[in-house]
Amino acid sequence: MKELLRNINIDDYNYNLPEERIAQYPVEERDKSRLLVYRKGEISGDIFRNITDYLSPDTLLVFNNTRVIRARLLFTKASGAGIEIFCLEPLSPADYERSFRSASPVEWKCIIGNLKKWKREILITRFTCRGKPYELAARKLSQEGEAWRINFSWAPADISFGEVIESAGHIPLPPYIKRHDEDEDYKRYQTVYSRIEGSVAAPTAGLHFTEVVLRNILNKGIRCVDITLHVGAGTFQPVRSNDISMHEMHSEYFLISRDTIQTLLENKGRIVAVGTTSVRTLESLYWLGVKISRNPSVTDSGLTTGQWEPYENGEKISVEESIESLLNFMKTRQKEILQASTRIMIVPGYEFRMINGLITNFHQPGSTLLLLVSAWTGSEWRRIYSFALENGFRFLSYGDCSLLFR
């Protein structure tokens, strides 16, 4: 592993991205965004609505159906100082569904903006839900790494925390979108197939899909399955060191059904991932299967893929053996849904096991997402990005899209 990481210099994954090429708003119609297609060394351009023309009928598309929550909560102290609390993940109750359903106080891991201005006092903000006034209180409990454990309570306590943040919170647009969130963002910074709440960033490759495109996909006979990975704020965290081994990935939680895992196994060699979050989930599945094949008695707390685990693990087994180990584990434990977490970091030199194609937006210079794209396309990423820059493609979350084959 050390030799592989030593050969990665983050400066080699930088490029000049002019500010005006970063999309501040989405295009008027989702599927009218532009599409770059890279196949067998050839690069071409089209519009996203025609993506079906580039997918064979035996393709299996894997979508991330996570839904973005209104994770930014804004408070104003009596002094006038503004404090922003960015909700990252639930701590008590420790899973998203129970936390969102709770009508009692909850605790979340949060990033705090203007932290120096918040001493010990309880912060209060007022909001309305279905025309009724409420107060939300935030109390700082303890530090959790670079984040903080925050206790949230509200009065009257006759609504759930999910309803609280739905009414009081703001859509967490990425920091490179230099504007406040607007009402339209709540619709456009979600995929049309989003269902399971928990993300603080959108799986942006999915933003281009419309009901028309999905209908065209099904009409061509292409199969589709859903996974759920709740995207964390770490997706925006820049790589600050040339030594890539110093970069720390945050854990992200994912859910996937046993039926879907079986479908993945049956469609090995034909899988196209919609977005880097789907890639990370699928590749993490393989490594979970490897872990279970070595230790079938692994506990639920062991269902996690470490950041460098794929590079430290010398054992190579087939995809079939890995996924069958996972399926047998779920059957034995009577699990219909696999709940796990991953910190996997995919860098150049990684050997992909699960995917055969990737749909993804254009990513920031020197980012972990660009490293993943480079791991997939090799040095061709520079030619792909140069084509996009020279031909007016829009970049980052609200930008255009690419379909990349090996």
Average pLDDT over residues 145-173: 96
Provide the pLDDT confidence category of residue 240 given band limits of 50, 70 and 90.
confident
Determine the 3-state secondary structure of 375 from DSSP. helix
Residue 1 is predicted with a pLDDT of 64
Residue keyed to tokens 């007022």: 126
Average pLDDT over residues 48-70: 98
Tokens of 125: 């903000």
Determine the 3-state secondary structure of 367 from DSSP. coil
Q: Residue 2 above 70 pLDDT?
A: no
* Residue pair 17/365 in contact by the 8 Å Cβ criterion: yes
* Residue pair 190/183 in contact by the 8 Å Cβ criterion: no
Residue 146 is predicted with a pLDDT of 83
* Residue pair 47/31 in contact by the 8 Å Cβ criterion: yes
Angle between helices 258-266 and 319-332 (to 10 degrees): 160
* Residue pair 244/10 in contact by the 8 Å Cβ criterion: yes
Average pLDDT over residues 247-269: 94
Give the list of residues 6+ apart from residue 257 with CB closer than 8 angstroms, or none. 336, 337, 338
* Residue pair 292/329 in contact by the 8 Å Cβ criterion: yes
184 membership: H or E segment, kind and range: helix 183-188
C-alpha to C-alpha distances, 128 to 133, 136, 138, 156, nearest whole angstrom: 4, 10, 17, 11
**What are 347-398's pLDDT values in tens digits?**
999 999 999 999 999 999 999 999 999 999 999 999 999 999 999 999 999 9
Q: Give the range among 101-105, 229-233, 263-267 with minimum mean pLDDT.
A: 229-233
The rounded mean pLDDT for the chain is 94
- In this prediction, what percent of the chain has a pLDDT beyond 90? 87
Q: Residue 236 above 70 pLDDT?
A: no
Angle between helices 319-332 and 276-294 (to 10 degrees): 70
Q: Report d(CA 281, CA 34) in Å as an integer.
A: 26
| Burial class of residue 266, CB neighbours in 10 A (0-12, 13-18, 19+) | exposed
Parallel/antiparallel/unpaired status of strands 34-39 and 401-405: parallel
Cβ neighbours, 10 Å, residue 174? 18
Average pLDDT over residues 17-38: 98
Q: Provide the sign of the torsion angle of the four alpha carbons 30, 31, 32, 34, taken in this order.
A: positive
Provide the pLDDT confidence category of residue 304 given band limits of 50, 70 and 90.
very high
Q: Residue 120 above 90 pLDDT?
A: no
Average pLDDT over residues 139-153: 94
Pinpoint the alpha helices (H) of 208-346: 211-219, 258-266, 276-294, 309-312, 319-332
Smallest CA-to-CA distance from 290 within 273, 306, 277, 271 is with: 306
Q: Report d(CA 103, CA 162) in Å as an integer.
A: 9
Smallest CA-to-CA distance from 108 within 65, 135, 130, 141 is with: 141
DSSP states of 76-87: E-TTS-EEEEEE
Provide the pLDDT confidence category of residue 250 given band limits of 50, 70 and 90.
confident
Angle made by CA atoms 193, 90, 305, in degrees to the nearest 5: 75
* Residue pair 93/69 in contact by the 8 Å Cβ criterion: no
Residue 368 is predicted with a pLDDT of 94
Q: Where are the domains of the chain?
A: 2-67+187-405, 71-170
**Chain centroid offset of residue 202 CA:** 6
Q: Residue 91 above 80 pLDDT?
A: yes
Q: Residue 177 above 90 pLDDT?
A: yes
Q: Largest Cα–Cα distance of the chain, in whole Å?
A: 62
| Burial class of residue 347, CB neighbours in 10 A (0-12, 13-18, 19+) | buried
Q: Report d(CA 338, CA 255) in Å as an integer.
A: 6
Pinpoint the alpha helices (H) of 39-120: 96-101
Residue 186 is predicted with a pLDDT of 94
Return the CATH fold of 2-67+187-405. Answer: QueA-like (3.40.1780)
Q: Residue 244 above 90 pLDDT?
A: no
**Whole-model pTM?**
0.94
Q: Give the range among 4-8, 111-115, 331-335 with minimum mean pLDDT.
A: 4-8
